[in-house]
Amino acid sequence: MKFDFNYYNPTKIYFGKTALNNLKKELANYGENILLVYGKNSIKKNGLYDKVMEILKESNKKVVELQGIKSNPTYTQMMEGARLVKENNVDLILAVGGGSVIDCSKGIAVSAYSEEDPWQKYWVDCKRVDNKVVPVGSILTMVGTGSEMNGGSVITNEEKMLKNGRVFSANVYPKFSILNPEYTYTVPKNQMVSGIFDTLSHLMEQYFSGDDNNTTDYVIEGVMNALIDNARVAIENPMDYEARSNIMWCATLGLNTVTGLSKEQDWEVHMIEHQVGAYTDCPHGIGLAIVSVPYYRYIYKYGLDKFVRFAKKVWKIHGKDMSKDEIALAGIEKLSDFIKELGIPTTLREIGATEEMLPLIANSTEIMDSGYKKLTADEILEILKEVY
Ligand code: NZQ
Ligand code: ZN
């Protein structure tokens, strides 16, 4: 372990088939005004909305609703939530949904009482939160982002064509998160595989940095193996409880900061995807999968030993009579095969990108310098062209 770290994660997790039974006692910790935040229609279709409303009613809560949070949540929707919080003196924001709903809720939580323009203050200047923060609780229905146990809030500013992520500190993390794998049974296949790849991407972004012998790297390899094995089961049988629950916990572990401890961390694939998402509105994990393979083929030489280790420990390549380069590339090839196995598109064109968008995406992508290779905007453009 090369770098010093402090570790604190305040989110209480309730996991399993009976997890929702804990909502009532959690609600008792907050005042009567609740802002219920959810997506377009999935929770009404699968019955979760009715169950949650019943518990809120039994708990004598006054409920204001913010419905219709879209995938890749927008700044406009977030500010509408901030207005509702102030108007109704909200005591708790209850997010019921996937990463978009939870990210939006955290955004509302920090923005409602901000005296400055929240976009500039928090998503551009990344200033410390110095205003009142409204507590957030979550009920997770779509797995992948890890938002249920972290401070991430990724918001799309539709006017500025920017999808910016901000990682807030522990006072913005959900106070509690309810994780019942059964709620994920109704997630459509394209979203399920998007979430699976998002989790794998979080693990790779943290893994491919530094070349030290780090306990975190061993943890990540274990979680990657669990994720890949269980993804294969879930694709065949989406109703397999064990597989869905393993995937759910892999996703939470994948970005609850445990798998980033003492690591430099890269995150360039995410930066590229965020701008691909700003222009195409694609599901997050699908955009990540498309750009990952050309990105890793481009940078592997700069972190060769780690890519060899990835090929051997994650993809079980023996590497006998192979050069380091051959082993590393064989590992990336296995990653590419896995993406195809998940049924994910492999070109930007398939998710609605046009040729004119590519330079706009490349020039607006944030460039990180914590991975193996710091890219230029021109190099990002080349990577995008390769998978156009
Ligand atoms: O809107 P509804 O009708 O609820 O449908 C949603 C949505 O269309 C549907 N869905 C969710 N649960 C369902 C369901 N459909 C049927 N049954 C269920 N149980 O799934 C669709 C996608 O949901 P969304 O929340 O958008 O997906 P995800 O969890 O992948 O979140 C994506 C957002 O999170 C950000 C992404 O950039 C993107 O904006 N991220 C957040 C991170 C964080 N907070 O740390 C990190 C990630 O890297 C990521 O950037
Ligand atoms: Zn992600």
Domain boundary among 129, 157, 183: 183
Residues found in the chain: 388
Whether residue 160 is found in the same domain as residue 36:
yes
* Helical residues (DSSP H) of the chain, grouped into ranges: 23-27, 42-45, 48-58, 75-87, 99-111, 118, 189-207, 215-236, 241-254, 268-280, 284-299, 304-313, 324-341, 357-364, 377-386
Nearest atom (ligand 1) to Cα of 153: 44
Cα(205)–Cα(203) distance, integer angstroms: 6
| Tally: H helices and E strands in the chain | 15, 8
Whether residue 228 is found in the same domain as residue 179:
no
Residue 379: predicted pLDDT:
98
What is the full per-residue pLDDT of the chain (388 aa) written as tens digits? Answer: 888 999 999 999 999 999 999 999 999 999 999 999 999 999 999 999 999 999 999 999 999 999 999 999 999 999 999 999 999 999 999 999 999 999 999 999 999 999 999 999 999 999 999 999 999 999 999 999 999 999 999 999 999 999 999 999 999 999 999 999 999 999 999 999 999 999 999 999 999 998 778 999 999 999 999 999 999 999 999 999 999 999 999 999 999 999 999 999 999 999 999 999 999 999 999 999 999 999 999 999 999 999 999 999 999 999 999 999 999 999 999 999 999 999 999 999 999 999 999 999 999 999 999 999 999 999 999 999 999 9
Whether residue 100 is found in the same domain as residue 136:
yes
In this structure, is residue 86 part of a structural domain? yes
Tell me phi and psi for residue 74, to 5 degrees. -100, 155
Cα(133)–Cα(111) distance, integer angstroms: 8
pTM for this prediction: 0.98
Q: Is 191 in the pocket of ligand 1 (CB under 6 A)?
A: yes
Q: Is 41 in the pocket of ligand 1 (CB under 6 A)?
A: yes
Residue 212: predicted pLDDT:
78
Q: Is 154 in the pocket of ligand 1 (CB under 6 A)?
A: yes
Query: In terms of C-beta density within 10 A (0-12 exposed, 13-18 middle, 19 or more buried), how is residue 169 classed?
Result: exposed
Nearest atom (ligand 1) to Cα of 106: 44
Whether residue 171 is found in the same domain as residue 287:
no
Number of domains in the chain: 2
Whether residue 17 is found in the same domain as residue 82:
yes
The answer to whether the CB of 11 falls within 8 A of the CB of 173 is yes
Q: Is 254 in the pocket of ligand 1 (CB under 6 A)?
A: no
Distances (CA, A) of 125 to 116, 120, 121, 268, 295: 12, 6, 5, 19, 27
Q: Is 270 in the pocket of ligand 1 (CB under 6 A)?
A: yes
Residue 211: predicted pLDDT:
76
157, 198, 253, 284, best to mutate for ligand 1 pocket (most atoms within 8 Å of CB): 284
Domain boundary among 159, 183, 207: 183
Domain interval for residue 323: 189-386
Domain boundary among 130, 149, 183: 183
Whether residue 106 is found in the same domain as residue 246:
no
Q: Is 40 in the pocket of ligand 1 (CB under 6 A)?
A: yes
Whether residue 364 is found in the same domain as residue 240:
yes
Give the dihedral of Cα atoms 97, 102, 104, 110; nearest 10 deg.
150
Q: Of 215, 277, 227, nearest to 252 (Cα)?
A: 227
The three-point CA angle 291-208-267 to 5° equals 55
User: Is residue 136 left, alpha or beta, with left meaning phi > 0 and alpha meaning psi from -120 to 50?
Assistant: beta
In this structure, is residue 6 part of a structural domain? no
In this structure, is residue 232 part of a structural domain? yes
Q: Ligand 2 center to residue 224 CA distance, Å?
A: 15
